[in-house]
Chains A and B, each alone.
Chain A
């Protein structure tokens, strides 16, 4: 057992953001959700939006986002986060309203609500965590599952003749006039974490400025669902996910 190390005040260069609650996170070690939560909390705090923010958590692994970031939250039905966020934003047009959704939630059952919120140009931010799998229900195929990828419902790999192709939501919604900013980010290295945070901040600024809907996709790992160690999952992400879901801005106006 390592002894407790006391860090002197002057040596403290980084800490848990004050908006992150003390609750123990339920995420698997290596999961991207925790890191993305941290960025969300930091951006809200740094922009001074603690009292202005209303988040919408989905059905999926991040359903309990409300237990980790201390702002107001509504928990939405599976896939309906963008409709719930629309209801909130229309009631409080000056508040900072965002959704936080997985690929099953946003790109399968919630496709309709997502596309129409985008098309109406709701002044909200959609944080889209694409780990190419249904984490919460135990690793089934999602619309974004890669061709050949093995999941609980594609035990022999995703066969496009049976299940179609990986669904590229970000590319699709970028065509919609109501959408002002679409970007793909990741949090698998410190450099990517920094970039992702900048992108997230820009999205939040867009919403507050009433520019339309911003969608920030995080190409993320689910090492438990992928049945890989955290380190191997990061490598698999680079080798397999990025070719299908390349990082960078898709639309920025």
Chain B
């Protein structure tokens, strides 16, 4: 039973969570994502599916509630915006270290510090490289529409459980706040306690049963030789993730000479820029990473063979451009254009930058 509605990105997260059979949401208000918890509280899913919704006293508490609930083998999530995600760093590291599945939504706003409540993509480094202390990775999904915010909730849970790893959905204030048509899928029931015992009984805290010894969820190992093995196991998992879970979209890339690389709302702007450029006869294509970790390095490296130049478009000071440079190398220019502090460029501005920094220089 498919259902079409006009919804705000943040509201759709609440709808998606309930329909994905989510067991628990723990969160703390912060603009521009507070509609997530407000919508959930209005929906009262504890009366229908039994999903728990709890307003925590801080983001530190939220992420640690998520840690506890995820330890139970349950499908759980939190959401916040940039400053709140900073507070979650230690918890994210513990979740990754203890190999627990969970979904964390970051509806980014501009920083640093308290910054602005306007949209930004300045947590790219945080999400892909510096989620917290220690050698760990989160799978990072970057939606560019309200529909993808909906879809990536169930995808996020699926990946989180497949790899027993935290998944971050890296959205921003544009997509969180805008309204679009969205197709809702049929609800999936929550996992039963029996299902959890059967499938995750070897690690999840369910209470001892069937003669098994107590399960222990921990990230502590004092013996460095063993801790190194723990790290090697994690790295092997991340390797598998980079081999199997890369997701991206290519728009008009086959004949392109000039490439833009952008994710999330910046990619939406770029799709308009392509139209403008093509109308002027420039062969411009767009590569949109959908997973920011694992990064679509191979496709970018491949496209670099046919490209004259690359421009990354980001709502930050140029973070992802570093990764694109790693993929492309030095033989052609890789430039960045973006606005910061909550400013969102128009397609016209981006097009001018594309001409200035790439097309006119290489013509």
Q: Judge whether B68 and A72 touch: CB under 8 Å.
A: no
**Chain A residues near B213 (CB, 8 Å)?**
70
Complex CA gap A75/B99 in Å reads 13
**Chain A residues near B65 (CB, 8 Å)?**
83-84, 86-87, 90
Would you list which residues of chain A between 69 and 112 have a CB under 8 Å from chain B?
69-77, 80, 83-92, 95, 112
Complex CA gap A77/B69 in Å reads 14
**Chain B residues near A73 (CB, 8 Å)?**
205, 214-218
Contact with A along B210-236 (1 / 0, CB 8 A): 000111111110000000000000000
Q: Judge whether A83 and B64 touch: CB under 8 Å.
A: yes
**Chain A residues near B54 (CB, 8 Å)?**
86, 90
Prevailing SS type, chain A contact patch: mixed
Contact with A along B42-57 (1 / 0, CB 8 A): 0000000000101011
Complex CA gap A209/B233 in Å reads 42
Q: A74-B71, A86-B65 are in contact. Are A95 and B207 (CB under 8 A)?
A: yes
Interface centre among A56, A80, A92 (most CB of B within 10 A): A80
**Chain B residues near A56 (CB, 8 Å)?**
68
Q: Judge whether A87 and B205 touch: CB under 8 Å.
A: no
Q: How many residues of A contact B (CB 8 A)?
A: 34
B99 to chain A, nearest CB (A): 13
Looking at the complex, which one of B60, B68, B219 makes contact with A85 (CB distance below 8 Å)?
B68
Q: Judge whether A113 and B207 touch: CB under 8 Å.
A: no
Q: How many residues of B contact A (CB 8 A)?
A: 40
Q: A83-B64, A84-B68, A90-B24 are in contact. Are A70 and B220 (CB under 8 A)?
A: no
Q: Judge whether B220 and A63 touch: CB under 8 Å.
A: yes
Is A50 positioned at the interface, with any CB of B under 8 Å from its CB?
Answer: yes
Complex CA gap A248/B58 in Å reads 33
Q: Judge whether A112 and B217 touch: CB under 8 Å.
A: no
Q: A72-B208, A72-B214 are in contact. Are A77 and B72 (CB under 8 A)?
A: no
Complex CA gap A89/B207 in Å reads 12
B52 to chain A, nearest CB (A): 5
Q: Judge whether A74 and B69 touch: CB under 8 Å.
A: no
Is B74 positioned at the interface, with any CB of A under 8 Å from its CB?
Answer: yes
Is B152 positioned at the interface, with any CB of A under 8 Å from its CB?
Answer: no
Q: A72-B206, A74-B205 are in contact. Are A88 and B68 (CB under 8 A)?
A: yes
Looking at the complex, which one of A51, A80, A87 makes contact with B76 (CB distance below 8 Å)?
A87
Closest to A75 in B: B218
Q: Judge whether B24 and A87 touch: CB under 8 Å.
A: yes
Q: Judge whether B64 and A91 touch: CB under 8 Å.
A: no
**Chain B residues near A85 (CB, 8 Å)?**
68
Q: Judge whether B23 and A91 touch: CB under 8 Å.
A: yes
Q: A53-B207, A85-B68 are in contact. Are A77 and B90 (CB under 8 A)?
A: yes
**Chain A residues near B216 (CB, 8 Å)?**
66, 72-75
Q: Judge whether B61 and A80 touch: CB under 8 Å.
A: yes
Complex CA gap A76/B90 in Å reads 11
Complex CA gap A66/B219 in Å reads 12
Q: Judge whether A80 and B64 touch: CB under 8 Å.
A: yes
Looking at the complex, which one of A53, A64, A69, A88 makes contact with B69 (CB distance below 8 Å)?
A88
Can you offer 24 A-B residue contacts whose CB atoms are under 8 A? Answer: A51-B208, A54-B207, A56-B68, A57-B218, A69-B214, A73-B217, A74-B67, A74-B71, A76-B67, A80-B64, A80-B91, A83-B61, A83-B62, A83-B68, A84-B64, A84-B67, A86-B61, A86-B65, A87-B67, A87-B68, A88-B205, A90-B69, A91-B23, A91-B72
Chain B residues with CB under 8 Å of chain A are 23-24, 26, 52, 54, 56-58, 60-62, 64-72, 74, 76, 90-91, 94, 98, 193, 205-209, 213-220
Q: A73-B214, A76-B68, A91-B23 provided; 8 other pairs, C-beta below 8 A? A: A56-B68, A72-B216, A75-B220, A76-B64, A80-B61, A90-B69, A91-B68, A92-B193
